[in-house]
Structure 1
Amino acid sequence: MTLLLVAGGFWQDEIDAESFWGRTGVLDGLRAHGEVLAPERPRRARSWAAEGDFLANLVTEPVTVVAGSNGCSAAARFAVARPQLVERLVLAWPATAHDPEVDGFTRDALRELGADDDTVEALLGGGTLRGVGDDELRGLGMPVAVVPSEPENRMHQRYTVDAIKELTGATELPGCPEPPMPAFQPDGFVHSVVQFGLSRA
C-alpha cells in the first residue's frame, strides 16, 4: 500500500512537505515500510476543491492518505470527491475551524497575503474541517483515524478530534505534538501510522 502524505500549512511559505515530513524524520521512518509520496501542496490555492483535485491527479490506485493540520482539509476533500482512491485516511492534528479568535487572525493573515474576501470566506468555510461539510465527513466509507495534538493548543483543539470521531467513527491514535514543533518525535507517530495505514485488517 502506498502512503500519500499531505503536509500542514495555510498559505505559509515557510511550511512545506520538507519542513513538515522530511526534516522531522517522518518521511524516512515511513519509507522503511513501503512507498511514500510527499508532494508539495499547491501554493496559495484558492479553494479546498482545487487541493483535492491536485491530490487526486497524483495517484491512479488506492492509497492511504496521511494528512496533518490544515492539510486535513485537502485530504478530506480528496476523500469525499474520489473515495475510490482513498483506502484509509489518517487525520493528524486536525486544524480547528470556527474558533472566532483563530478565524480572526487567520482571515487577516490571508488578506495580507493577497487573498480576496471571497477566497478568504471559501477557505474558512465548512464544518468541523474547513472546506468539508459534516454530512460529507459522515458519509466517508473508508476507515479513518485521527491523531490529537498533545498538548492541545488553540490551533489544534481537542473538540475537533472528538467531533471527527463522532462523525466518522474514527479510531483515535496516540497523540503527540504536531510537526514541525521542536517537541515532535517521529517514532511513535510513524509506528501508529504503519499499524493503521498498512494493516490489512
Structure 2
Amino acid sequence: MSTVFLVHGGLWEPMNADRFWRAPGIVAALEARDVSVLAPDRAQSPASWTEEVAVLRKRLPQEPVVLVGASNGCSVAALLAIEHPESVERLVLAWPATSGDPVVDERTRAGFTSRGASAAIAEELLAADTLRGVRDEDLALLSIPVAVLPSVPENPSHQRKTVEALLRLIPGSRELTGCPEPPTPDFPPHKDELAGTLAAFIG
C-alpha cells in the first residue's frame, strides 16, 4: 500500500501536524489499517504558496505518495500534485477551504495581519480561483485519481459550493464520505470512518 502524506490545515495560525492529525487519532487509525503515514509540519508564517510548496517538497519521499490536503492545506497539496506529478499518484482534497467569500476573506485577512503578516502577504495568500493560490486551469489538467472530501455539516470556511466546484473542475474526480474537520470538537466520533474512507481510496 502506498505511503500517505498528510498536509494539515491552518494558515498563519498556531496549527501543526500533531494537533491536526495525531492528537485526533487519525495517524494511529490509518496505521492500524497498515497504512504508512508521513505527516510533516507546514511553514508556519509563509510569504507565499510557493514557499509552502518548497518546504513540503523537501519532505516528500522518493517513491510516489497519496497526498491528503486538509482545509488550506488543499492548496499546498494541489500545487505539489500539479508541479511535481512524478511524486504524487493520488490526491485527496479534504475539507477544502472556501475562497472568494468576502466575509470569510476579510476575517482571514484580519487574522493574518493580527499575527504580523503584511498587507502584501495577505493579498498574496488570499488570491484565488476555487482554491487559494491555485489556478482553476491547472486543476483541470490533473490526470491522477482525485477525491474531494467535504465538511459535513458545511460551515462558512468550508462551504459545499467549493466541493462542487472542484468536482466539476477536476476530470474524473469523485466525492468521498464527509465529516467535520479535525481538530474541531465534533470530529472524534468520525475518526475511524475517516481512516476507513481514506484507506479505501488508497486501495
User: How many angstroms apart in 1 are the aligned matches of 2:151 and 2:36?
Assistant: 26
**1:131 equivalent in structure 2:** 133
Aligned counterpart for 1:82 among listed residues 72, 81, 84: 84
Q: CA deviation at 1:112?
A: 1.3
TM-score, length basis structure 1: 0.95
Structure 1 letter corresponding to 2:12 = W
Structure 2 letter corresponding to 1:165 = L
5 Å-filtered alignment, 1:2-21, equals 2-13=3-14, 15-21=15-21
TM-score, length basis structure 2: 0.94
1:96-147 deviation line (CA, Å, top 9, x unaligned)? 0000000011111111111112211110012100010000111111110011
**1:28 equivalent in structure 2:** 28
Runs of 4+ in 1 over 3 A off after TM superposition: none
**2:116 equivalent in structure 1:** 114
Query: 5+ residue gaps in structure 2?
Result: none
User: How many angstroms apart in 1 are the aligned matches of 2:116 and 2:82?
Assistant: 28
What is the root-mean-square deviation in Å for CA atoms of aligned residues? 0.9
Matched, 1:157 2:162: no
Aligned counterpart for 1:183 among listed residues 183, 186, 189: 186
Residue 98 of structure 2 contacts residue 157 of structure 2 at CA under 8 Å; is this kept in 1?
Answer: yes
Structure 1 letter corresponding to 2:182 = P
SS in 1 for 2:89: strand
User: How many angstroms apart in 2 are the aligned matches of 1:104 and 1:167?
Assistant: 26
User: How many angstroms apart in 1 are the aligned matches of 2:8 and 2:65?
Assistant: 16
Query: 5+ residue gaps in structure 1?
Result: none
User: How many angstroms apart in 1 are the aligned matches of 2:110 and 2:169?
Assistant: 30
Residue 152 of structure 2 contacts residue 179 of structure 2 at CA under 8 Å; is this kept in 1?
Answer: yes
SS in 1 for 2:153: coil
Residue 52 of structure 1 contacts residue 81 of structure 1 at CA under 8 Å; is this kept in 2?
Answer: no
Matched, 1:65 2:67: yes
User: How many angstroms apart in 2 are the aligned matches of 1:63 and 1:84?
Assistant: 9
Q: CA deviation at 1:34?
A: 2.5
User: How many angstroms apart in 2 are the aligned matches of 1:45 and 1:101?
Assistant: 22
User: How many angstroms apart in 2 are the aligned matches of 1:165 and 1:87?
Assistant: 18
Residue 49 of structure 2 contacts residue 125 of structure 2 at CA under 8 Å; is this kept in 1?
Answer: yes
